[in-house]
Structure 1
Amino acid sequence: MTTKVLPQPDRAEIRVETVLQALGEPVRLTIVRALSDAPAGICCGDLELPVTASTRAHHLKMLREAGVISTHTDGTRRISLLRRDDLEDLYPGLLTGVLSAKQ
């Protein structure tokens, strides 16, 4: 099976205002928290969220386009991973602070 990485910004293209906007939505923040506990990534369909599949796909796309996550295909599955290293290098402590905030 071939693996394909879905379009996402390069590290140098990630902007803090876009990241913050993406993280400011509760469902997207829930996704980021789930991915922070899964270094190998999570299949998009395995994320348990209180939204429809199409809305889940929209939120994942918004996170990917903001540079918060990376998504690749594995056969028919889409695996999402948190771009922790990229975000930490660009904005030290941002992700740690967001993830440690009370829910």
Structure 2
Amino acid sequence: MAVDELLGEPARTCASSNLPVSKSTATHHFRILREAGLVRQVDRGNSRAATLRRADLDLRFPGLLDLIAADR
């Protein structure tokens, strides 16, 4: 999943990502994004929703998310 897909979304699950890959591959990519510190995952029953760690990313990389959003 591209980070730019999470920019306008409040939270997303692997199933709602509409990626052309299997569920296990999407789950793997979400795990990589979480371990890299780009997203935060919240348990919601039997699924996890991922949200972009916007404030943390803005502190570490000022202007990066605005640049990505402008390129959409």
Scaled by the length of structure 1, what TM-score is found? 0.63
Name the structure 2 match of 1:73. 43
Number of residues paired by the alignment?
72
More helix by share: 1
Alpha-carbon RMSD: 1.4
State how far apart, in whole Å, the 1-side matches of 2:8 and 2:42 are.
Answer: 18
* 1:47 maps to which of 11, 17, 22: 17
State how far apart, in whole Å, the 1-side matches of 2:69 and 2:26 are.
Answer: 20
Matches within 5 A, 1:1-103: 28-29=1-2, 32-39=3-10, 41-101=11-71
State how far apart, in whole Å, the 1-side matches of 2:42 and 2:22 are.
Answer: 21
SS of equivalent residue, structure 2 residue 18: coil
Deviation at 1:38, TM superposition (A): 1.2
Q: C-alpha offsets along residues 17-50 of structure 1, whole Å, 9 cap, x if unaligned?
A: xxxxxxxxxxx32xx22221112x1122111001
Contact 2:14 2:23 in 1 (8 A): no
State how far apart, in whole Å, the 1-side matches of 2:69 and 2:25 are.
Answer: 22
State how far apart, in whole Å, the 2-side matches of 1:96 and 1:48 are.
Answer: 24
Give the share of equivalent positions with the same residue, in percent.
38
What are the ranges of 5 or more consecutive residues in structure 2 without an aligned counterpart? none
Q: C-alpha offsets along residues 42-101 of structure 1, whole Å, 9 cap, x if unaligned?
A: 122111001111111111111100011011111111110000110001110112212323
State how far apart, in whole Å, the 2-side matches of 1:47 and 1:97 are.
Answer: 22
Larger radius of gyration: 1
Scaled by the length of structure 2, what TM-score is found? 0.86
**Paired amino acid for 1:63:** L
